[in-house]
Copies of this chain bind each other. A is one copy, B any other.
Amino acid sequence: MNYELHQLFDPASSTFTYVLIDVPTRDAVVVDSVDHLLERDLGVVRRLGLNVRYVVETHAHADHVTGAGLLQQRTGAMAATPFKCGISAEIQLAHGDKLRFGASEEILAIHTPGHTSGSTSYLWRNHVLTGDTLLIDGCGRTDFQSGDAGSLYDSVHERLFTLPDETRVWPAHDYNGNTVSTIGHEKRHNARLSGRDRPAFIELMASLKLPRPKLMDVAVPANLLLGIPHAA
């Protein structure tokens, strides 16, 4: 048991990128990268001498352009994305699928629709990368891009809050300077999802009236192509 999970932050879009490492083999997986931070990510790869095996997405993001395609070109990694997202990646992950890397590491895909219909969380050891499904003291919006508040509620309560309390929660974003939480803490204290039943949650989400993401019209089409327009 010798592994590392690195969390990197993009101040421009408040996006977390994760680098998961099997230390003995130096095999690595990069989750939710950002295109304009390619050199930052390659710096970590170079300094730690990593072999990037997979670039992974939790969903087709609307707030930033992914660096997955660029990372793939530079590292030779394979791209793995949730099968319901429509992203053009070699590996299409369904609920229960496992990505294997390093000597004996396994990442479990947990389909957690709601923010988008394809949104998927990834469980690795006692760490769960929750994308925009479960945030620290919050959750992703459900008002566009095939979002559905009832689905998000079910995903969180049936598939995330049933993980052990000690499980570390690593979201795709944070806007308040937080970095990590636990399933136990979010179950008891999440401002949107704790102590609220399904109808009340749906009503709350419908009342938010959030602004349209500035980058959405650019980001979503780009992200369906892993951030790189077709050369053709």
Contact = CB atoms under 8 A, between A and B. Distances in A.
Interface of A: 1-2, 4, 6-9, 11, 37, 40, 43-44, 46-49, 136, 168, 177-182, 184-185
Given A2-B1, A9-B9, A11-B11, A48 B179 contact: no
B6 A179 contact: yes
Given A1-B1, A2-B1, A9-B9, A48 B177 contact: no
Interface of A is mostly: mixed
A6 B180 contact: yes
B182 A43 contact: no
Given A2-B1, A177-B40, A47 B182 contact: yes
Nearest to A37: B177
Given A1-B2, A40-B177, A47 B11 contact: no
A181 B44 CA distance: 7
A184 to B, nearest CB: 8
23 contacts: A1-B1, A1-B2, A6-B179, A6-B180, A7-B7, A8-B179, A9-B9, A37-B177, A40-B177, A40-B178, A44-B178, A44-B179, A46-B185, A47-B136, A47-B178, A47-B180, A47-B181, A47-B185, A48-B168, A48-B180, A49-B182, A49-B184, A49-B185
A44 B180 CA distance: 7
A128 to B, nearest CB: 14
A28 to B, nearest CB: 13
Contacts of A1: 1-2
A181 B1 CA distance: 21
Most buried by B among A4, A47, A168, A179: A47
